């Protein structure tokens, strides 16, 4: 398969959870599978863990809408968990039979032939949450996917134009207001212009919302996907935007490309880029 070619299957499960298949490897991002989280309730279908069997689970950070022990415990099989350094103990408690790999920004590992590089994210750590630095991940199996996790826009974000095939970009938060350390529809469209991937699927929207608030104020729940698409048409007109509602899926067929992704564009600038971890046996 030519570099960057192939097919990527994407299912937007909801919030920051997506099920990907690329290069024959199934990857689940930030699994949150429950119907509620404190005062937040889920909109859209509640996923069945049995339908989300994965070879690899990547976890971007320790906030409870991204790292949920009960959701991890419910997953079938023994997926390899890849998480920020400092979150490994909690991952092992949730999945004692699974391999857990901790990474810092700039470090790389290989799992089932899939190359996974941790890249920086700009997000805050709430009091009481694990002190693990939030990350994004680049997944490379020929087709290349950037899962941004939860982040704001910052200068060191990936800028290798045209060399990321699919970007999963967060475009909102879990409530009516957009706080710091998050992308909104317009800033996410600017990031899409920076990356110039073949396809963007917006995530982190349309799923979790304060109980009953949608009855009087539903626009922040329902509209971010369409607003992002509208901004992207103006700011990143060459990018194919696939707006999926929770539970929807798409198949992305990609042409081959002559150049690979330059991971130096994704480094944190702290000299850690290029460090690698061995592939699990």
> Which pLDDT band, with edges at 50, 70 and 90, does 128 fall under?
low
- Residue 174 domain flag: yes
The predicted model scores a pTM of 0.87
- Residue 266 domain flag: no
The fraction of the chain above a pLDDT of 70, given in percent, is 83
- Residue 268 domain flag: no
- Residue 265 domain flag: no
- If one counts the domains in the chain, the total is 1
Q: What is the mean pLDDT of the chain?
A: 86
Report CA dihedral (3, 150, 169, 87) to the nearest 10 degrees.
Answer: 30
Helix or strand (DSSP H, E) at 36: strand 36-37
Q: Which residues in 55-185 belong to E strands, given as ranges?
A: 56-58, 80-84, 100-103, 108-111, 114-120, 135-140, 144-147, 166-170
- Residue 113 domain flag: yes
- Residue 280 domain flag: no
Question: Taking the alpha carbons of 145, 266, 104, 2 in that order, is the dihedral positive or negative?
Answer: positive
- Residue 263 domain flag: no
Q: What is the pLDDT of residues 5-16, one digit of tens each?
A: 689 999 999 999
Sheet of strand 40-42, all strands in order from the earlier edge strand to the far edge: 36-37, 40-42, 208-210
Q: Kindly report the CATH number assigned to the domain that includes residue 189.
A: 3.60.15.10
Give the domain range for residue 23: 7-255
Which has the higher per-residue pLDDT, 75 or 274?
75
- Residue 281 domain flag: no
Helix or strand (DSSP H, E) at 70: helix 69-74
């Amino acid at each position: 398969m030519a570099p960057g070619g192939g097919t990527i299957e994407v299912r937007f499960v909801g919030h920051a959870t997506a099920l990907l298949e690329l290069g024959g490897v199934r990857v689940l991002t930030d699994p949150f599978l429950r119907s509620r989280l404190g005062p937040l309730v889920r909109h859209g279908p509640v996923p069945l863990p049995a339908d989300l069997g994965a070879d690899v689970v990547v976890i971007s950070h320790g906030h409870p809408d991204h790292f949920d022990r009960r959701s991890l415990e419910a997953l079938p099989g023994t997926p390899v968990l890849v998480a920020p350094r400092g979150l490994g103990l909690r991952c092992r408690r949730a999945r004692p039979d699974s391999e857990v790999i901790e990474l810092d920004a700039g470090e790389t590992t290989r799992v089932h032939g899939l190359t996974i590089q941790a890249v920086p994210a700009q997000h805050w750590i709430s009091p009481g949450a694990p002190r693990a630095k939030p990350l994004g991940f680049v997944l490379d199996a020929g087709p290349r996917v950037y899962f941004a996790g939860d982040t704001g826009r910052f200068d060191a974000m990936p800028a290798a134009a045209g060399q990321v095939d699919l970007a999963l970009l967060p475009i909102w938060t879990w409530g009516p207001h957009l706080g710091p350390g998050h992308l909104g529809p317009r800033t996410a469209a600017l990031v899409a212009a920076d990356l110039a991937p073949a396809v963007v699927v917006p995530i982190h929207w349309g799923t979790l919302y304060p109980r009953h608030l949608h009855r009087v104020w539903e626009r922040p729940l329902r509209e971010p996907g369409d607003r992002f698409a509208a901004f992207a048409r103006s700011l990143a007109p060459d990018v194919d935007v696939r707006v999926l509602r929770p539970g929807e899926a798409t198949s992305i067929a990609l042409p081959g490309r002559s150049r690979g992704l330059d991971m130096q564009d994704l480094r944190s600038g702290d000299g850690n880029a290029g460090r690698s971890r061995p592939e699990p046996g």
